Structure 1
Amino acid sequence: KIIITDFKIREIPVLAQILSLASITGILDTLKGEGIRFDNTVIVYENDEKFFTFKDFYGTGPSLGFIVEGRINNADDFVSLDGNLIPAYEVNRLLSNIPILGQILTGKSGDGVFGVSFKIKGKDNNFETTINPVRTITPRFVQRFVDLFRSSK
């Protein structure tokens, strides 16, 4: 487990592409300029012969939160990640503090009411980045309900 606190990120091409695809220009401008500040990031991982797997990887900051799951193939460095970016993370965090309702609306740590679902696949800095526009406008608690319904079949 790795915990990183109080840091900024700048000029990360894959993140810039996700923010651009999702039309989140204010945060994109910050990424290109002074950087996006994160208060806390947690990375729980497993590494074996075949894969480096992100079991629980999330970060939180005033303007953005994220959750990432996935793995990197140790044989060929192929990256396959799924995640969510949560803009206006502080607003989402305040909603999460509402007793009972907060947990229903925001779910697990790092998640939020609204966010941008993304996938990153590829290797050698040649990544294909996609977002799911339907999931972007669908509240997270609705998505989790649908996912739960699908997994029970």
Structure 2
Amino acid sequence: MHINIIDNYFNREECNQLIELYSRFKYLAEPFYNVIPLKVKDLLPKKFITKINKTTTLINKSKIDWIEVVKWPLGSYKELHYDCQKDTTKLSSITFLNDDYEGGELYFKDETVIKPRVGRAVFFDGNFYEHGVNKVNKKIRWQLTGFYE
């Protein structure tokens, strides 16, 4: 499997909808290390679920297991890691919901760096590809994170 990058996977309006969804339900978000994820599988409008499942089915016949909007506050980062979500996890994804911050690039152990762009989705096997996120140096970074089985 490769790292699949899809630009404009969601348009700016859709990305803003996801950030607004977080804002409406932020009281359900629980801090995890230095980020604040909100589980949204049961909150996402059907159009998002349908589009994502269609894409992941084409990539490796997987479907959404766990999906969350994640707020990365100023100063947050994630060192190189494997997702290891579950033994049944076949695919991971990160979709950048904004790009008006500094830092926060997605990077892989092989020194591949993926610059944030609004709506850019990155699908990869997070149990195989060791990856991390550079420190957010200015403003807040938002992403949609998915795990698929």
TM-score (norm 1): 0.24
Report 1 or 2 for greater relative contact order, CA contacts < 8 Å, sequence distance ≥ 6.
2
TM-score (norm 2): 0.24
Name whichever structure is richer in helix by fraction: 1
